[in-house]
């Protein structure tokens, strides 16, 4: 049996039970009520009223029964109409939900349910719409990811094909082709590694090994890693910190990876003669790290999407500018370590800020690295 007949018949059964209970209660309670009033009337009428007692009782009982019987059709009609409307609304909501679920299963993520009223059915429709929107974003991200991966791979593959043809035609010698082939293979390996890492990080499958370390240690490791590259580009790299900083409790290697991504971006967008500085600010619960550059800056309309996978402020950027997932990895790692990451920017430079959980022991900064 369909849902609507079941609901409607169920409501009618409840109505019939309620009516039967009404008549039963009336028969059990009414005699006491009208007998009390009959006695009062007999007392007022005197001896002549005793003979009228049976007629008075029958009249009052008949009046009560006639009133109940007269009201019965109207009560049944109104109850049936209410049951019909209620059952139809419930069934209609279930049908819409079923149709919407089928649409989602078929890939129609733009399907939405009407949200009318303030009851649980409306809340269910709202939750369905939220789920559909989330699935739509996931599907769009999947399509974008496939397109971006294809775009990123197209250039090195085209280069490899060109080198292969040049080698086959004898235009280039093997010793000339080998370095270029290795370079293009390295590009694809880096892309594959970054994609694997970003998928694991976003799925929460990266194992963290948190321990206590100082901001001095983190900054020193970053300067050791990037100092030479910054010198070659003619960009000054420095860091500063308060005399005493709260220690950080996080995964050192992952924190260094986050800082490295930010320093790589800063170097990429800072011209010769510019400056990139790392700043640490202590707090009771969090230690804040800042990477400030004097580069070209990020237009305001791009700030909300800067941490998305493969999102690029300049669509003309080439694969030499990175895989496009560095900031996505940085955001996910920071969030998994209990912090947050943000960016502010103007045309005079950008400031990336991320936080990591602090511990109460204080770490003495011994010196600054120029």
pLDDT of residue 368: 40
Residue 370 lies in a domain: no
Mean pLDDT computed over 69-74: 72
Name the percent of the chain lying above pLDDT 70: 77
**Residue 180 pLDDT grade (very low, low, confident, very high; cuts 50, 70, 90):** confident
Quick check: 261 pLDDT over 80?
yes
How far, rounded to the nearest angstrom, does the alpha carbon of residue 358 sit from its chain's CA centroid? 27
Residue 131 lies in a domain: no
**Pair (181, 266) in one structural domain:** no
- For the chain, the 3-state helix, strand and coil shares in percent, each to the nearest 5, are 65, 15, 20
Residues 6+ apart with CB under 8 A from 235: 267, 270, 271, 272, 273, 274, 275, 276
pLDDT of residue 318: 45
Closest CA to 328 of 187, 145, 134: 145
Question: Buried b vs exposed e over 328-339: b needs ≥16 C-beta within 10 Å?
Answer: bbbbbbbebbeb
**Pair (218, 347) in one structural domain:** yes
Quick check: 348 pLDDT over 60?
yes
Mean pLDDT computed over 178-185: 86
pLDDT tens-place string over residues 290-342: 999 998 888 888 888 888 776 666 554 444 455 567 888 899 999 999 999 99
pLDDT tens-place string over residues 4-31: 676 667 777 777 777 777 767 766 666 6
pLDDT of residue 30: 63
Q: How many domains does the chain contain in total?
A: 3
pLDDT of residue 363: 47
**Pair (264, 284) in one structural domain:** yes
pLDDT of residue 75: 72
Last residue of a domain, one of 108, 125, 156: 108
pTM, two decimal places: 0.58
Range of the domain at 348: 211-364
**Pair (233, 324) in one structural domain:** yes
**Pair (281, 310) in one structural domain:** yes
Torsional class of 302: left (φ above 0), alpha (ψ -120 to 50), beta (otherwise): alpha
**Pair (340, 198) in one structural domain:** no
pLDDT tens-place string over residues 204-231: 778 889 999 988 889 989 999 999 999 9
As beta bridge partners, residue 356 has 287
Residues 6+ apart with CB under 8 A from 29: none
Residue 122 lies in a domain: no
Quick check: 50 pLDDT over 80?
no
Q: Which of 69-78, 237-246, 340-349 has the highest mean pLDDT?
A: 340-349
Quick check: 64 pLDDT over 70?
no
Strands 286-293 and 275-281, by their bridges, are antiparallel
Q: How far apart are the C-alpha atoms of 66 and 212, rounded to whole Å?
A: 87
Residue 354 lies in a domain: yes
**Pair (100, 153) in one structural domain:** no
Quick check: 134 pLDDT over 50?
yes
Closest CA to 339 of 290, 270, 298: 290
**Pair (187, 250) in one structural domain:** no
């Amino acid at each position: 049996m369909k849902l609507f007949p079941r609901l409607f018949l169920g409501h009618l059964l409840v109505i019939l039970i309620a009516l039967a209970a009404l008549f039963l209660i009336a028969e059990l309670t009414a005699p006491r009520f009208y007998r009390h009033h009959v006695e009062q009337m007999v007392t007022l009428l005197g001896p002549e009223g005793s003979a009228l007692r049976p007629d008075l009782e029958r009249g009052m009982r008949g009046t009560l029964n006639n009133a109940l019987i007269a009201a019965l059709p109207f009560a049944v009609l109104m109850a049936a109409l209410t049951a019909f409307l209620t059952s139809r609304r419930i069934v209609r909501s279930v049908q819409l939900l079923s149709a919407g679920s089928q649409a989602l299963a078929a890939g129609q993520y733009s399907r939405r349910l009407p949200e009318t009223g303030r009851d649980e059915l409306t809340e269910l429709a709202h939750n369905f719409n939220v789920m559909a929107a989330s699935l739509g974003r996931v599907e769009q991200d999947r399509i974008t990811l496939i397109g971006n991966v294809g775009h990123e791979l197209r250039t090195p593959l085209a280069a490899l094909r060109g080198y292969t043809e040049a080698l086959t035609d004898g235009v280039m010698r093997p010793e000339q082709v080998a370095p270029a082939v290795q370079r293009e293979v390295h590009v694809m390996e880096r892309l594959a590694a970054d994609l694997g890492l970003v998928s694991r990080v976003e799925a929460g499958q990266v194992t963290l090994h948190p321990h206590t370390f100082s901001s001095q240690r983190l900054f020193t490791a970053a300067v050791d890693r990037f100092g030479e590259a910054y010198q070659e580009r003619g960009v000054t790299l420095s860091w500063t910190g308060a005399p005493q900083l709260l220690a950080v409790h996080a995964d050192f290697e992952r924190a260094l990876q986050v800082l490295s991504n930010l320093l790589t971006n800063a170097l990429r967008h800072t011209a010769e003669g510019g400056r990139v500085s790392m700043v640490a600010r202590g707090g009771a619960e969090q230690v804040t790290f800042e990477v400030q550059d004097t580069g070209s800056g990020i237009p305001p309309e791009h700030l909300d999407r800067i941490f998305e996978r493969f999102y690029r402020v300049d669509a003309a950027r080439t694969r030499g500018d990175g895989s496009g997932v560095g900031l996505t990895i940085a955001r996910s790692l920071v969030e998994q370590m209990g912090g947050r990451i943000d960016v502010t920017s103007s045309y005079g430079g950008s400031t990336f800020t991320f936080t990591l959980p602090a511990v109460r022991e204080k770490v003495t900064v011994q010196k600054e690295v120029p």
